[in-house]
Amino acid sequence: MQAARAIIHLENLRRNILAARNKIGPHPKICFPVKADAYGHGVVPVSRCALEAGVEYLAVATLSEGMELRAAGINAPIMLLSQTLPEDLPDIASHEFIIFVSDDEYIEEAAKTAGKKLTVHLKVDTGMGRLGCRPEDAAKLARKIASSPVLSLGGMATHLSVADSPAPDHIAYTKGQLRRFHEAVDSVKEAGIDPGIVHAANSGALVFHEDSYLDMIRPGIFLYGYLPQGAPAGLSAEPLMEFRSKVVLVKKLKAGESASYGNIWTADEDTFIGVIPGGYADGIRRGLSNNHSVLIRGKACPLVGRICMDQFMVNLGPETEVRRWDEAVIFGPGFITAGGIAEKLATIPYEITCGINKRVPRVYVG
């Protein structure tokens, strides 16, 4: 086994799904985004666990991600969240993926190219400024979909851009997005067309906007175990990913000697150094150089010197009980999580978990 490995706690995924279900009640469906290899957690094992725990839909970004799930024998409904290419439409239709459409040209292309029945969801841009039609165009586009013998309108969706923030101006912005979305859905209904499954809520909306649950929610980062700042007490999510490695060498440095590239750390006394496999090629960001500690034998040991491509060093102190092959926890439940790492680097936990390289084996427990 490789020293550096990501341990995925599937029992925490089940707990997070149950927490989401308890929050939203029995009616709304849950669509679980598993794009980007399930945010770095491993798409097939995580998807199987989520479906067994009661998730109804999966969502990916690309055709290749969806094909990986189908090849693994997963037959659940799968949505492709990003704009698909016209040449992919026959494969999309034959594997029964659901796509999003938001303009006349692509609706016509899908009807012409798919080759067989294709379920689409109409995406409405209510303030994200990304994919989606204007709310006032929704009824016209829904009529175009409904008039096609190939296309079936399976739902309507929007994406909420600041729903993860409890700031008053962001709360008001999200309410405005939801209002515009309801107007678009109502216009489709008034045109005599069934809008299908209506969905808007992401993880932030799950936490802060109960009026956004509608027919389905799409909580991504919440199910992977991370809450937005300001989340109400009583709502919990437990991180799935733990990143571990092993101490492969313990050696002594004398006062005044340096560790790693650039001599950015120098020992101020005689001390022991532990060498640990895992570097920026594995997803341990260089910004953690001299800016993080790992847990060895229950003690936080500071990371010293620059993180290398494949390994890093920690200061074990002038006296140490650490021995070669001891476990080293880089982040994980019960220690600092990927969310804590993200705070150190002024980023988000998505970027940390997605950044754990494929060469790091995933080990599934629970």
Of 347, 366, 364, residue with least CA distance to 355: 347
Burial of 255 (0-12, 13-18, 19+ CB in 10 A): exposed
* DSSP-based three-state secondary structure for 2: coil
Put residue 196 in one of left, alpha, beta given phi > 0 → left and psi -120 to 50 → alpha. Answer: left
On whether the CB atoms of residues 177 and 162 are closer than 8 A, the answer is: no
Q: How far apart are CA 290 and CA 63, in angstroms?
A: 41
Q: How far apart are CA 6 and CA 210, in angstroms?
A: 34
Active-site residue, 299 included = no
On whether the CB atoms of residues 38 and 30 are closer than 8 A, the answer is: no
Other beta carbons within 10 angstroms of residue 129's beta carbon come to 9
Active-site residue, 261 included = yes
* DSSP-based three-state secondary structure for 114: coil
Catalytic residue among 112, 251, 261, 299: 261
* DSSP-based three-state secondary structure for 129: coil
Catalytic residue among 35, 123, 144, 246: 35
> Please, which residues have CB within 8 angstroms of residue 354's CB and are 6 or more apart in sequence?
36, 37, 39, 40
User: Could you list the active site residues?
Assistant: 35, 261
